[in-house]
Amino acid sequence: MESDKPVKILLVDDRAENLFSLEVIFSDENYVCVRANSGEEAVNILTNDEDFAIILMDVQMPKMDGFETVERIRQNKKLKHIPIIFLTASMDSSVQIFKGYLAGAVDYLTKPFSPVILKAKVAVFVDLFKKNYELLEQAEEMKRLNKNVAIEKLLSKYTLSLIEAIHDPLFVINLEGTITDMNNASIKITEAISRSNLIGALFSDYFTDVHKAGEGCQKVLSEGFLICYPLTFKNSQRTNVLFNGSVYNDDRGKVLGAVLVAREVSA
């Protein structure tokens, strides 16, 4: 994806004034804001166009509320990867918050919310969307250049030559959860000294909660994606991060492994 190409975000709210307010917030960003005035309209839009970086969803809507709308969206395998943030005045209890996450949302903001915080949260997912898109484009281009090279080698070459431009730690794992490649940021944060110390090691061994890290590997490999998965590196700083990732496949669609990108967060 070209760096200056705008990405689309879907705004879902039954109140026109709320949709307008969101458009104003993002007016100085390189986004295309698509409106949906109801849950049903949002589902219809996504059925015909799945190329959205993120969905901002109001909870309290007539006929089909935000929870039901998210559940409908998540039923479509092609839409499972799109992150959804709830924007509502009603998430005022742990039960409602849990219900939101259970439905498939990745985050929520209560009204009135800070435009600065909203823009920061959206920017994280837009950045991930662009990186994933670029990874897919590079893989496809490399397959066109050399059809006889296996997809694993293509991705490995891509990783070695291009991912160092990504400042966040990036890991490539196979189906067993073993690290097959990484960038220099990964070597630094794990304090592994060299690339050879990481290759062949279990991804989960570098975190304080080995079991949770292993579950994260299984989640991305089984569901095809991972969004804002919290882990803590077992380094001297005990660095807290959120992992996002997606699987990569061979030319027949068989899953070969996953690419995981960590973003450092404050404790």
Least confident among 95-99, 131-135, 151-155, 216-220: 151-155
Percent of the chain with pLDDT over 70: 83
Label residue 80 by pLDDT band (50, 70, 90). Answer: confident
Beta-carbon count within 10 A of 148 CB? 6
Stretch 141-149: mean pLDDT? 61
The residue extents of the domains of the chain are 7-125, 147-264
Q: How far is CA 254 from CA 8, 141, 177, 188, 195, in A?
A: 29, 19, 16, 32, 27
CA distance between the termini of the chain: 33
Assigned CATH topology for domain 7-125? Rossmann fold (3.40.50)
222-259, pLDDT tens digit by residue? 998 889 899 999 999 999 999 998 888 887 888 999 98
Stretch 104-131: mean pLDDT? 84
SS3 for the chain, per residue? CCCCCCEEEEEECCCHHHHHHHHHHCCCCCEEEEEECCHHHHHHHHHHCCCCCEEEEECCCCCCCHHHHHHHHHCCHHHCCCCEEEEECCCCCHHHHHHHHHHCCCEEEECCCCHHHHHHHHHHHHHHHHHHHHHHHHHHHHHHHCCCCCHHHHHHHHHHHHHHHCCCCEEEEECCCEEEEECHHHHHHHCCCCHHHHCCCEHHHHECCHHHHHHHHHHHHHHCEEEEEEEEECCCCCCEEEEEEEEEECCCCCEEEEEEEEEECCC
- Return the higher-pLDDT residue of 229 and 137: 229
Q: Is the pLDDT of residue 203 over 90?
A: yes
- Return the higher-pLDDT residue of 79 and 157: 79
What is the pLDDT at residue 77?
A: 84
What is the pLDDT at residue 208?
A: 96
Label residue 3 by pLDDT band (50, 70, 90). Answer: low
44-66, pLDDT tens digit by residue? 999 998 889 999 998 888 888 88
* Architecture in CATH for domain 147-264: 2-Layer Sandwich (3.30)
What is the pLDDT at residue 217?
A: 95
Q: Is the pLDDT of residue 98 over 90?
A: no
What is the pLDDT at residue 243?
A: 93
Can you tell me the distance from the alpha carbon of 75 to that of 145, in angstroms, rounded to the nearest whole number?
Answer: 36
What is the pLDDT at residue 74?
A: 85
Label residue 215 by pLDDT band (50, 70, 90). Answer: very high
What is the pLDDT at residue 22?
A: 92
What is the pLDDT at residue 149?
A: 52
- CA–chain centroid gap for 72, Å, is 19
